[in-house]
Amino acid sequence: MLDYIYGRIVEKTPSILIIEANCIGYKIHIPLSTFEKITEKEDTKIFTKVFIKDDQIKIYGFFTHEERELFDLLLSVNSIGPNMALTILSGSTVSQFKSMVLGNDLKTLQQIKGIGKKTAERIILELKETILAVAPGEITSVEVQKTMVVSDAIMAMIALGYARPVAEKAVNAVAGSFDVSGGVEMLIKEALNKV
């Protein structure tokens, strides 16, 4: 319907942007990440997503394509609506969010306002494969690989019967100096020496 709106910023708050384009003022709901990137002194291009529900039309706006793509991806998760998707975008960058999902990082996901354990688990379950398929190049980063290896090692230790706090403490104790190329098995062996 509307791919983007280009115009003069009339008003800007952390959650709402008013843009005037062709003598029409558009009220656009934005995440904090977009708010931080735009300046009021310039004409701005905002990528949009329009929702029509009952008698309401809402426009959601994003500074980058990546933010809008993540917004769309989040809406595919069961029980996540536009407002929750905006909150998630406000609580992390696109790359941080993808790293959390790829690394099964429930703990960090739950630090985003409004995300409980069940929602975090659902997000990881429903989005991990999609993120891997859409952006395979991103998993080559050492940071993401390390997050995934650490998370897998913690889950493996829990499966071996260790309590989560014990598993996390042991794995994190050796993860800092661990070479990711050693793999999950090597990390588990080293972590078991710390229990």
Please tell me the total count of domains within the chain.
3
Whole-number Å distance between alpha carbons of 30 and 86: 7
- Mode of pairing for the β-strands spanning 24-29 and 56-62: parallel
Please report, in tens digits, the pLDDT of each residue of the chain (195 residues total). Answer: 689 999 999 999 999 999 999 999 999 999 998 998 887 777 899 999 999 888 889 999 999 999 999 999 999 998 899 999 999 999 888 888 888 888 788 888 888 888 899 999 999 989 988 887 765 555 545 566 676 777 778 878 888 888 877 888 888 888 777 676 677 788 888 888 887
| Residue-range definition of the domain harbouring residue 125 | 65-137
| CATH at 56 | 2.40.50.140
Let me know whether 95 and 153 are in one domain.
no
123 and 168 in one domain? no
State whether 160 and 131 are in the same domain. no
